Structure formats: C-alpha cells, structure tokens
C-alpha cells in the first residue's frame, strides 16, 4: 500500500499527530476482498492474515502512513459543540485505487486521542460489524457511502453496560471532511485555515471549480448541496434512516458516513425513528430532507466571510442557493419516486399519484420494500398484480393507466423500476441476528452469507428469500444506539 498524507500537509491546526494504541491480540474478523482489490493492497499483505490484523488494528503502522486524529466541530441535535474531533479514530493516510481515485484509510476504535473527552477510544465488535454490513449493503444499493475494508477483533474487552469484545473497523472514504470541519475554523474566526480547507476540499472533490475565481465559494456550496440532495434522495429511495444527521456526520463529498444508530424503514411511515436518543424525532425518516437543508445552511454560513467581507453582501449571494433548496429537493425526490413507479418523466398529475400511493402505504401500514418489489413484479405476474390491486385499491388502476400512456413495453418499464426498487435490504431484525451471532460465537459464517445476498440487492439469489421477510412485530420495539 502506498500511502500519501495530503491532509497532514494542511498544518497542525487541522489535527493531532497520534498513533493508534496497540491492542493485545488482533485477529482478522471480516475482510472486504473486492475493496482490497480496488485499493490494490499488495498480495504479500493480502495473503497474510496476521499482517492484516496487525496493520488494521493499528498495532503495526504501514510504511508511509502518518496517523492523525482530525479536529472538527458540529451541531449535535441542533446544539453547537465547538470542538469534537476523532475521539476514537486514526486517519492512517490516503491511497490511490486502481482508477486513480484517492481514498482516506481510517481506523475506528483504535484508541484515545486528545479529542476523546470522557470516551475510551474503543469500539465493540457489534457496531463494527454493523458498520461493515450496512455500508456494504448501501454501496451495493447504489447509494454513495464510505466503505469498510476490515473488522479486526482486539482480544480486549470494551466496557459499556456490560463487557463486550472489542474491535477496530477500517473505514475507507472519499474524504473525512465534514460540515463540522468548516464549522470548527469558522467558529474560531480562523479565516486563513478556513480558506486552506476550502481550497483543499475543492481540489479534492470539485476540481472543476478551481478556475472559478471569487465565485468558487458560492459554486462550492451549490455543488455540495447537489450531492447531498442526491444522497438523501437515494436514502429515501431505499428506506434508509441515518439516525444522527449532525453536521459532523455530513460530508463534503456527499457520502453516507457514520453508521451508528442507522436503520431501515420497514412499514412506510415518514415519522419512523429508531434511535434511542432521538426522542423528538428530529432525524425521523421523513424529516431527513429538512435536516439536510438545515445542515447546508450551517455550511453556507461558514463560508460567508470568504465570500465577502461585508456580511450582508455575502448573505445576499448565498441566500438564493439556500432558499431554492426545498424546491430543488422536491424535484429530485419526485423524479426518483416516479422512477420507482416506472415513470420515465414526471407530469404535474404524477405528484398526486405518488403522494396518494405513499399515503395508502402509510395508512395500511404496508412495507415499503415489499410493496415496491411487488409493484415491479406486478407488471409480469398476475399474482403480484392481484395482491397490489387489493393493497392499493383504485390507485393501482390509476397507476396502470398512467403507465399505458408511456407506450413502453412492460419489460422495459419493469427494468426501470427494478433499478430503483431493491428485492432485499438489510432489514433491522436480520442485521441484529447476524451481529448477535458474530458476537456470541465469534464466527463469521452468517455474516458472510448475509453479505453475499446484500451485495446483489436487485437480484433474487438462491438465498435472498431468507432475508426478505418484514419483521413479525413491524419493528415496533426496535431501537438503535449512538456513541457505541
């Protein structure tokens, strides 16, 4: 692995130089071989599980890596915290993959840093497995996300309510620059560092803006908004609830990051919340568009002093970009929902159809994934069509009529629908079952089997049917946890 450390080059105010704390007995638990292939991890390392465990626990620092813990701030549940930072993570550096794309390689659960506050710097095995499973599933679903290269057990206990096996997960990300990274420097009024960070982020993620001169900051905001809209629309497409959309968990690259309390929505209901600490439902499924709008406004605020020394003038320039967010989101969201229903273009009337269908799902407490899967199948299956007729009532006929106006062969419509409607998602009860087996038995058989299905979410493999069932209790009592 050839590391470079461009983030280190930004200067000491951006991070603390610190090595991972070695662990007693690192053992390779899960390994993402296709990602390893993409990252061109050399054979001599790849074929040596002892060396992999040493490297991806943080016990052995690979040549060229300069570990750091990055600093950032963030709004957590709406309240600003001026300093957060990697309290249990170490950025080992960056590598170029086989396509020349740069990736951050970060260990999570790798020990304390100066940003740990009261925390132990560690991660239990369960949440590490959860991050790998969920991020692999999201990637295969076609949703922009950080990836997971490895889970290594540490041979050390982690103390939460009980004693749990510890682990280190290796996160691979287009970068770890967050809205909160900008907020950290903006809150301090450190304009030179803010400017350095902007140039770096633009160079790394939006190089086409480099030549835009003084206009580039507004365009930068616009581009980040575009990617975040794309991301959250994709979340809504597959029923993903992030659970903790704090500004420190919102990236500039537009990738899903931080799989702590996330969950998948079963029964369609915009008010669905699973996170134990989200008592107000701030991060409920249907609130995600509003929250990402709010986060983008916090991001734009950070850049005000770079846009114009006169705050009023700067505000005048970003105001329209922020104000148009709801319409922009709505347009993309409706286009996506239209495709879930097989519509290649969206007429004004289609909005009513979409809203009526979704209301029907909510009122009849229908499963989101199952319903759209059956609708897809209903184009060629009498059984599926008859069930959907029952479930959707008159809306089914309206939809079929609308489809016939497109003058497309049904197989083509079905293909379009299938691209937007998975046959399987990482359902909460299956994720928990697999995690529990990993933690209790120390074995990975069930995790590997589950992953194989999740890596083809638009295809029915031999074992897919084992994971399609909605939870028997509709996830009524399901809860997820933060800061694990």
Paired with 27 in beta bridges are: 153
Residues 237-276 that bind Mg ion (CB under 5 A): 249, 258
Question: CB 248 → ligand AMP: shortest distance, Å?
Answer: 6
Q: Is 360 helix (H, G, I), strand (E, B) or coil?
A: helix
Interface residue list for ligand AMP (CB under 6 A): 84-88, 115-116, 119-122, 244, 249, 258, 260, 482-483
What Cα–Cα distance (Å) separates residue 47 from each residue in 31, 52, 95?
Answer: 11, 8, 19
Question: CB 118 → ligand AMP: shortest distance, Å?
Answer: 8
Residue 15, token pair as written in the block: 């991070």
Question: CB 121 → ligand AMP: shortest distance, Å?
Answer: 5
Q: How many CA within 13 A on the CB side of residue 255?
A: 21
Please say whether the beta carbons of 151 and 30 come within 8 A. Answer: yes
Partner in contact with 86, chosen from ligand AMP, Mg ion, none, beta carbon below 5 to 8 Å by kind: ligand AMP
Q: Which is nearer to Mg ion, 249 or 253 (CB)?
A: 249
Please say whether the beta carbons of 274 and 478 come within 8 A. Answer: yes
Q: Which is nearer to Mg ion, 146 or 414 (CB)?
A: 146
Question: CB 81 → ligand AMP: shortest distance, Å?
Answer: 8
Q: Which is nearer to Mg ion, 87 or 165 (CB)?
A: 87
Question: CB 250 → Mg ion: shortest distance, Å?
Answer: 10
Question: CB 185 → ligand AMP: shortest distance, Å?
Answer: 16
Question: CB 246 → Mg ion: shortest distance, Å?
Answer: 7
Burial-class residue 213 by CB neighbours within 10 Å (0-12, 13-18, 19+).
exposed
H or E stretch including 95?
strand 89-96
H or E stretch including 103?
strand 102-108
Partner in contact with 260, chosen from ligand AMP, Mg ion, none, beta carbon below 5 to 8 Å by kind: ligand AMP
Partner in contact with 298, chosen from ligand AMP, Mg ion, none, beta carbon below 5 to 8 Å by kind: none
Q: Which is nearer to ligand AMP, 82 or 483 (CB)?
A: 483
Q: Which is nearer to Mg ion, 228 or 421 (CB)?
A: 228
Question: CB 252 → Mg ion: shortest distance, Å?
Answer: 14
Please say whether the beta carbons of 176 and 91 come within 8 A. Answer: yes
Residue 377 makes CB contacts below 8 A (sequence gap 6+) with 384
Quick one: which of 384, 227, 207 has its CA closest to 295? 227
Q: What angle do CA 210, 225, 185 make, to 5 degrees?
A: 65
- Distance (Å, rounded) from C-alpha 193 to C-alpha 182? 9
Partner in contact with 342, chosen from Mg ion, ligand AMP, none, beta carbon below 5 to 8 Å by kind: none
Q: Which is nearer to ligand AMP, 169 or 358 (CB)?
A: 169
Q: Which is nearer to ligand AMP, 260 or 266 (CB)?
A: 260
Instruction: Mark residue 85 as left, alpha or beta (left: phi above 0; alpha: psi -120 to 50; beta: remaining).
Output: left
- Active-site residue 258, yes or no? no
Query: Which one is catalytic: 248, 269, 278, 373?
Result: 248
Size of the site for Mg ion (CB under 5 A): 2
Q: Which is nearer to ligand AMP, 11 or 483 (CB)?
A: 483
Paired with 172 in beta bridges are: 105, 147
| Residue that is written with structure tokens 């590997």 in the block | 448
Taken in order 54, 58, 60, 64, the sign of the CA dihedral is positive
Partner in contact with 356, chosen from Mg ion, ligand AMP, none, beta carbon below 5 to 8 Å by kind: none
Q: Is 59 in the site for Mg ion (CB under 5 A)?
A: no
Tell me the helices (H) and strands (E) count for the chain, helix number first.
Answer: 17, 12
- Distance (Å, rounded) from C-alpha 458 to C-alpha 90? 35
Residue 372, token pair as written in the block: 């759209």
Q: How many CA within 13 A on the CB side of residue 25?
A: 4
Partner in contact with 6, chosen from ligand AMP, Mg ion, none, beta carbon below 5 to 8 Å by kind: none
Find the radius of gyration of the CA atoms of the chain: 23
Give the residue numbers annotated as catalytic, written as ranges.
248
Instruction: Tell me which residues touch Mg ion (CB under 5 A).
Output: 249, 258
């Amino acid at each position: 692995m050839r590391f470079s450390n461009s983030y280190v080059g930004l200067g000491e105010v951006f991070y603390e130089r610190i090595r991972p704390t070695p662990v007693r007995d690192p053992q390779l638990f899960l390994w993402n071989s296709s990602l390893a292939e993409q990252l061109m991890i050399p054979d001599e390392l790849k074929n040596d599980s002892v060396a992999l465990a040493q490297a991806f626990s943080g016990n052995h620092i690979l040549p060229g890596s300069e570990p750091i813990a990055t600093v950032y701030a963030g709004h957590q549940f709406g309240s600003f915290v001026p300093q957060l930072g990697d309290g249990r993570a170490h950025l080992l550096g960056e590598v170029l993959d086989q396509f020349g794309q740069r990736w951050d390689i970060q260990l999570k659960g790798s020990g304390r840093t100066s940003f740990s506050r009261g925390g132990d710097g560690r991660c239990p095995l369960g949440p590490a497995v959860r991050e790998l499973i969920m991020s692999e599933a999201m990637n295969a679903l076609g949703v922009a996300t950080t990836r997971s290269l490895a889970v290594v057990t540490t041979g050390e206990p982690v103390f939460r309510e009980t004693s749990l096996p510890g682990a280190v997960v290796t996160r691979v990300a287009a970068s770890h620059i967050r809205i909160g990274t900008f907020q950290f420097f903006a809150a301090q009024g450190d304009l030179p560092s803010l400017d350095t960070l902007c140039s770096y982020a633009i160079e790394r993620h939006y190089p086409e803006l480099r030549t835009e001169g003084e206009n580039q900051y507004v365009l930068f905001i616009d581009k980040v908004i575009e990617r975040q809209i794309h991301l959250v629309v994709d979340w809504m497409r597959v029923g993903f609830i992030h659970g903790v959309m704090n500004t420190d968990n919102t990236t500039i690259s537009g990738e899903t990051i931080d799989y702590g309390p996330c969950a998948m929505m079963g029964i369609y209901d915009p008010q669905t919340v699973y996170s134990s600490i989200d008592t107000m439902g701030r991060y409920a499924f249907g609130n995600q568009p509003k929250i990402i709008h709010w986060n983008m406004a916090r991001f734009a605020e950070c850049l005000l002093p770079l846009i114009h020394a006169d705050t009023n003038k700067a505000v005048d320039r970003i105001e329209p970009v922020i104000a148009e967010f709801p319409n922009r989101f709505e347009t993309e969201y409706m286009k996506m929902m239209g495709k879930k229903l097989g519509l290649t273009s969206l007429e004004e009337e289609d909005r009513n159809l979409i809203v009526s269908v979704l209301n029907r799902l909510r009122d009849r407490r229908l499963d989101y994934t199952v319903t759209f899967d059956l609708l897809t199948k209903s184009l060629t299956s009498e059984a599926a069509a008859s069930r959907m007729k029952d479930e959707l009532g008159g809306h089914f006929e309206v939809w079929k009529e609308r489809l016939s106006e497109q003058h497309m062969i049904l197989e083509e419509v079905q293909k379009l629908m299938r691209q937007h409607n998975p046959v399987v998602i990482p359902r909460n009860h299956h994720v928990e079952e697999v995690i529990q087996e990993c933690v209790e038995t120390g074995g990975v058989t069930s995790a590997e089997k589950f992953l194989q299905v999740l890596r083809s979410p638009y295809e029915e493999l031999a074992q897919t049917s084992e994971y399609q069932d909605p939870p028997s209790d509709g996830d009524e009592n399901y809860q997820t946890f933060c800061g694990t």
